[in-house]
Amino acid sequence: MSDSTPNPTVQDAPHKHGISLMGLIALVISSAIGSGVFALSTDVSAAAAPGPALIAWLITGIGFMGLATTFGRLSIVKPELDGIVAYAHAGFGPFVGFISGWGYWLSIWIGNVAFGVMLVTAIGYFYPPFAGNLTILGVVFISLLNWAIVLLVNRGVEQASMLNAIVMVCKLVPIFSFIIAMVFVFDFDVFTADFWGNVANNLYSASYTNVNGTVVGAPGPIPRQIVNCLMVMMWVFVGMEGASVLGHRAERKSDVSRASILGCTILVAIYVAASILPYGYLTREELMALGSPSMPYIFARVVGPWGGAFISAGLIISIFGAWLSFTMLASEALCGMAQMKLLPRAFSHLNAYSAPTACLFTTGAMVQLLTIVMMFSNEAYQLAYSLCTAAITISWTLAAAYMVKLGIEQRKRGRADHPKAVGNAEHPNSERVRGTDLALASFTVVFLVVAVALAGIQQLLLCCIAYIPGIFFYKKAQHEREMLQ
């Protein structure tokens, strides 16, 4: 007779002082919610009528639920690996690991540029010279804040738990206040008046300029409207891999998968509500005519001028917290690649405060350069978040492809249907890749590739140009490896 009490696996064994399930869920939500949700109403309405937008959310939601599940399962199947760059490196070799890591780094610091542009726009609600397109004054402000954050992080400053809690509240309280207000003023007749984009919009492209100076017009056919939504919807999920990256610090390894799925579900609910409910208060034309970020302007219409100030203040604090976190993530990405010998050793050197100075100043310099370039764009924020999304899609896709590879390899070994397969000899408690894991990962790869091919191929090609200097650094690191052998 066997013992009826199962032995706890590594995934289920609790770790003292680890991150709880609720902590991991909060991490997923906090990492993903930056500035994008505050501008969703305008960005989505500029792309589509409510009907096509709902279809786009359905497709995007399923795709990112698949990605979240894949991240969670990878943390269990391969517990010895830490983060999405390590998955690409382990699955496809050093060069592909470099491709993933460089793309992740590009995404993070380009995201900082998007934060900077949105921050200036949010301040424009209180200080009109900052409103509208990015100006020299805005570039100077972003530059000063960029280097202040770089110097701050270079001193080894980390966000305390109290600061994280404050930033989290500043993000969620304004968002939930906005959603509740939209529920009370929602008018079904307004919502359905132009649900699919009327016939006239599908036949011609009447256009006009909104308060930001951006030309907007007819949404076009339904398939085009759906495609137009994809990049903005994918942008607001950047950072959702947070639970996977810090999975090794979880109280229970199995909590990583639950947190990824639950956190992603909550994100989808917040994003759908924040972007779709305003269609029931204002027409699509009225939403497009608003400034960006649109949330303060809509809330001010509902509750009065104080509402716009309330949302804008929360947005400013939210962006500052996200910018600080992304600066640390970007420098850690470069430093981690150097430790994996994918970049020269100089990037792995730490100062007296255990901060990677070379990585921080390289990241700061790139943010500075792109900010200046963005001054010549009429849609600086949209361009920045599109580039950010296209870059991180490379890392997401390679991580999901690694799960597909693991599943195929197990099937070739005839172990796919084994009740409990050993992941590898060094980690006997790691689990097998299940059939559902393989199916979800395969769907995720297809979703990400098709989405970028349809909606972000130009941005992806621009990101590829940024790989040219990276390949030079990779070759130098390769030469250093050969010298040590």
Alpha-helical (H) ranges within 18-83 are 21-32, 40-47, 50-77
Sign for the CA dihedral angle at 259, 261, 264, 268 comes to negative
Phi/psi for 217 (5° steps) reads -160, -155
What is the reported pLDDT for 114?
A: 94
| Mean pLDDT score across all residues of the chain | 83
Mean pLDDT of 389-410: 94
Provide the 3-class DSSP secondary structure of residue 10. coil
Residue 412 tokens read as: 């070739």
In angstroms, rounded to a whole number, what is the distance separating the alpha carbons of residues 74 and 256?
A: 10
pTM: 0.86
Instruction: Name the residue type at position 148.
Output: A
What is the reported pLDDT for 217?
A: 53
What is the reported pLDDT for 206?
A: 47
Per-residue DSSP letters for 126-176?
A: TSGGGSSS--HHHHHHHHHHHHHHHHHHHTT----HHHHHHHHHHHHHHHH
What is the reported pLDDT for 157?
A: 55
Superfamily designation of domain 21-484? Amino acid/polyamine transporter I (1.20.1740.10)
pLDDT digits (tens, 9 = 90+) for 202-239: 444 444 444 344 445 556 788 999 999 999 999 999 98
Q: Please report, rounded to a whole number, the percentage of residues in the chain having pLDDT higher than 70.
A: 83
Please tell me the total number of residues recorded for the chain in this structure.
Answer: 485
Contact 256, 243 (CB under 8 A): yes
Per-residue DSSP letters for 183-243?
A: HHH--HHHHHTTSS--HHHHH---EEE-TTS-EEE---SHHHHHHHHHHHHHHTTTTTTHH
Sign for the CA dihedral angle at 172, 178, 182, 184 comes to positive
pLDDT digits (tens, 9 = 90+) for 131-158: 778 889 999 999 999 999 999 888 875 5
Residue 194 tokens read as: 């132009």
Instruction: Name the residue type at position 183.
Output: V
Provide the 3-class DSSP secondary structure of residue 427. strand
